[in-house]
Amino acid sequence: MTRRLFAEWLGTLFLLAVIIGSGIMADRLSGGIEGLALLGNTLPTGAILVVIILIFGPVSGAHFNPAVTLVFALRGDIRPTHAVQYIIVQIIGGICGVMIAQLMFDLPLIDLSTIARTGVGKWTGEFVATFGLIATILGCLKSRPDAVPYAVGLYITAGYWFTSSTSFANPAVTIARSLSDTFAGISPAHIPVFILVQLFAAVVAAITFDWLFGRETDPAK
């Protein structure tokens, strides 16, 4: 269990270091062109997801996301007590990743974001992003488990561009990104609704795809 928790912590740390670090670098090099900055933030994020899922998947399952952990707990694939521990280390890992990224670019370790991300449009975007992420994971686990790393990386890469929220789809990521007042940030005041929408979408997706695939719950779990 210690190795599993360390894998979740370290994987989430790398994820946030890349999200924040690439956001800072993209913003500095894009010359004020927001689309170019977003592209510079998107590609590294999709790429690192493939890498960390391949690395840590055999150890912990490579959740790196409380919404994903919640889904697996509801399905009986992880014990509730273990799920809580996963979620705690994911959040801590995300915060550590932000601090490392801020340190690399000579910024304050913690700098609360002032970037507004709120409103029905953004919330709808987060629902779609999270629902689609869970659908991607469950769908690949059903048919092509070996494709999960690539499918998740590709889905999030697409999500950055087709969702109004730029596809956070992850409560740990949402919390961590509030600690950086940079391109990838989100105001702390807008976190609660984002997380509620993400968790709701994850549950709806889990119910939907368990029904779609005809999954039977093992009462012994």
Q: What is the pLDDT of residues 143-159, one digit of tens each?
A: 999 999 999 999 999 99
In a domain, 220, yes or no: no
Give the model's pLDDT for residue 214. Answer: 86
Q: Which residues of 165-182 are buried (b: 16+ CB within 10 A; e: fewer)?
A: bbbbbbbbbbbbbbbbbb
- Which residues fall within 8 angstroms of residue 114, CB to CB, at 6 or more apart? 181, 185, 187
Give me the mean pLDDT over the 193-221 stretch: 85
Give the model's pLDDT for residue 72. Answer: 97
Give the model's pLDDT for residue 218. Answer: 45
Give me the mean pLDDT over the 37-47 stretch: 97
> Which amino acid is residue 191, in one-letter code?
I
In a domain, 218, yes or no: no
pLDDT cut 70: percent of the chain above it: 97
In a domain, 103, yes or no: yes
Give the model's pLDDT for residue 220. Answer: 38
pTM value is: 0.93
In a domain, 221, yes or no: no
For the chain, the domain total comes to 1
In a domain, 167, yes or no: yes
> Which amino acid is residue 27, in one-letter code?
D
Give me the mean pLDDT over the 24-51 stretch: 96
In a domain, 53, yes or no: yes
In a domain, 182, yes or no: yes
Q: How far is residue 193's CA from residue 190's CA, in Å, rounded to a whole number?
A: 6
Give me the mean pLDDT over the 175-189 stretch: 97
Give the model's pLDDT for residue 18. Answer: 98
Give me the mean pLDDT over the 7-18 stretch: 98
Give the model's pLDDT for residue 215. Answer: 72
Q: What CATH number did the domain enclosing 96 receive? A: 1.20.1080.10
Tokens of 95: 């915060």
Give the model's pLDDT for residue 118. Answer: 96
Q: How far is residue 184's CA from residue 177's CA, in Å, rounded to a whole number?
A: 7
Check whether 216 has a pLDDT greater than 90.
Answer: no
In a domain, 125, yes or no: yes
Check whether 13 has a pLDDT greater than 60.
Answer: yes
Tell me what the pLDDT averaged over the chain comes to.
Answer: 95
Give me the mean pLDDT over the 98-103 stretch: 98
Q: Tens of pLDDT along 104-136?
A: 999 999 999 999 999 999 999 999 999 999 999
Domain that holds residue 114: 2-212
Check whether 160 has a pLDDT greater than 90.
Answer: yes
